[in-house]
Amino acid sequence: MVVGKVVGSVVATRKNERLLGSKFMIVQPLENMKAEGRIVAVDNVGAGIGEIVLVAVGSAARIGCAMDTAPVDAAIVGIIDNSIGLMED
């Protein structure tokens, strides 16, 4: 998983029907995380803009969030409220 900050959201009126009801958030991974840029992730925990979240990618997002047959490859699965060694280089 990667840790990032929710920085926005996108809306798609015309979309795959299995995505109906999903909320798509834009997550900016923290600087020292494994990630090349922003990820669009389905929100599984009610995260808001500005929050630091845990994002699962790949089949884990789809299966882990009970959206097994949806075209989802990233999901916010936790809101970080404490950490050790997260920001140090």
* Positions in the binding site for its own copies (CB under 8 A): 1-3, 7-16, 18-19, 24, 26, 28-29, 32-41, 44-46, 49, 54, 56-66, 68-75, 77-86, 88
CB atoms within 10 A of CB 23: 15
Long-range pairs of 35-39 with CB within 8 A, sequence gap ≥ 24: 35/2, 35/4, 38/7, 39/2, 39/4, 39/74
Q: How far is the CB of 11 from its own copies (least distance, A)?
A: 4
Alpha-carbon gap, residue 66 to 44, rounded angstroms: 10
Q: How far is the CB of 4 from its own copies (least distance, A)?
A: 10
Take residue 18 and report the two structure tokens written for it: 């299995």
Q: How far is the CB of 43 from its own copies (least distance, A)?
A: 11
